[in-house]
Structure 1
Amino acid sequence: MTDIDWNVLSKQWAEYSFQVGLIANFVRGPHELSTAYRSDTPSFTITKRGEGKLVLDQHTYDLKPGTVVHSSADMSVHAWNIGEETFECYRVLYTGHLPAGWKGKEPYRHYQIEIGECPHLYALLDHMNETAGRGDVQSELQMKTLFYQFLNEMRLAAKKLQVSEHRDIIEETIAYIHLHIQETHSLFSLASRYGMSPKYFAELFFKAAGVSPIHYVIRHRIHLAEKMLLTTNASIREIGKSVGYNDPYQFSKIFKKYRGVSPSELKTSDKPL
């Protein structure tokens, strides 16, 4: 599953009532890892080294370092080592109960998360494994805290990786906006250039640029217009049109909103803002 909506998944995690189960660390030689069963509980599979395949009800996922695969209860599970090297992974089993309103409507039952290089997450899993092995009440309480920390670490690592992987796309989008500032831009048109959903594209753009795509377009238009108002003899209508505003009234209204003065007031002033 791709294009995860982190707001939806985070809400799903937040509303689960978790009971952490087994934390297992598997190390297998070439072609040793081979399992086939029906899952009793949901679980996360986190690959540390090697390569494998995981099939969940006919949905195939690649097991490789930097990936996490989630499976729900009552799924057919088949996993095997496909590499010539040692395979190592962690499996975190848990039971979870959603409120009545969620029953049968979980948006994400199985999915894969890319987290990249994340050594501190492996250290956290080792700590969880050690804590779970104690079997006392205090450790059980601590496990719940560690499990939520585990979920949050995955979320942060995945979102950081998404921004890094898509930085080139955002930089190219910014260059495209600069070259086509006179054209009409919408969130949908910018996102569709890369086959992304508008919501996902907007989230990536904001994380990389610090503003929404449309806010960036407006901000750059106003910046260019301000320079021209202060350094050229072009009319306000001409300047507005050159930065994508064919309606001079709309241009003046937006300019004043962002700069605090109208284009005509700035053009006749002796001092730039």
Structure 2
Amino acid sequence: MYNKNINMSHFDITSDIFQLYYPVSTYNGRSPFQLLLASEFANKKNEIFDRKRHLYYTFSYVVGGSGKLTIAGQDFYPRPHSMFILHKNMAHLGVTNPEDPWHKIYFDVDGWLVEELLRAYSLDDSYFFKDIYLEPYFRKMLGLAKNHANDVHEKAVIIFHKILIKLQNQSSYLNTYSTNVKKTITYIKEYLEKDISMQDISGNVGLSPEHLTRIFKKEVGTTPYLYYLKKRIHLAQVLLKNTNMSVKEIASRLGYKDEFYFSNCFKKYTGVSPLNYRKNSENNSF
């Protein structure tokens, strides 16, 4: 457990770097929800975060600045009034624009309730939200971490829940897809356990692969085939966590040619092997 009296703030006059950092606790592996820390910083001109496997969930709100974020093969460009989620056990890379460095407020959380709430609000494979005003909620979370009351986690989960509702409402508003994109998503979900090609996907809606890729990426933010691959990996995660199926059995069920190819694909998108993912899931459960 962190010392609750350690509340750190820093302002470097020579570099103009500003940072508030309030550690709260380390995850105990049992609680459904824990706020681990909250922080605010600005003007880190050389900020780079490159993780092959994130150990918890990070929610970041961009107050100012710009930069590039890569998650699961997708590129995003967080700017003011945007928010991004760094999911647990996933790889990501973030680089601030040194000419216009990020000013961010973020908090780290962990616990099985985090995962369940993300899934309940259909946000378990969502990473980036733009044009959304959430600064008051993030500042409340920052205040909770700073004051570190005995009921900090109980109050934090209420704020967290409100943030998810806002994100889900925006997601529902934005995801008014065209007919061809809706048909593509439905087709992909029906064939997740099959080894299908981009030609199969585009043929289902009667468009060329290039044409479908253009309209799908414009509306969804990723290509149809990458969307298909991500959904397959997510299904594999569910099977690893909730069944006793072997890696070989899961690979066969999902239509991979062998367990080694499946393991390489899984690690590429999650940053961890299937066996280690299962082991980590078991360690973080009751």
TM norm structure 1: 0.46
Q: Which structure is higher in RCO with an 8 Å CA cutoff and minimum separation 6?
A: 2
Structure having the higher helix fraction is 1
TM norm structure 2: 0.44
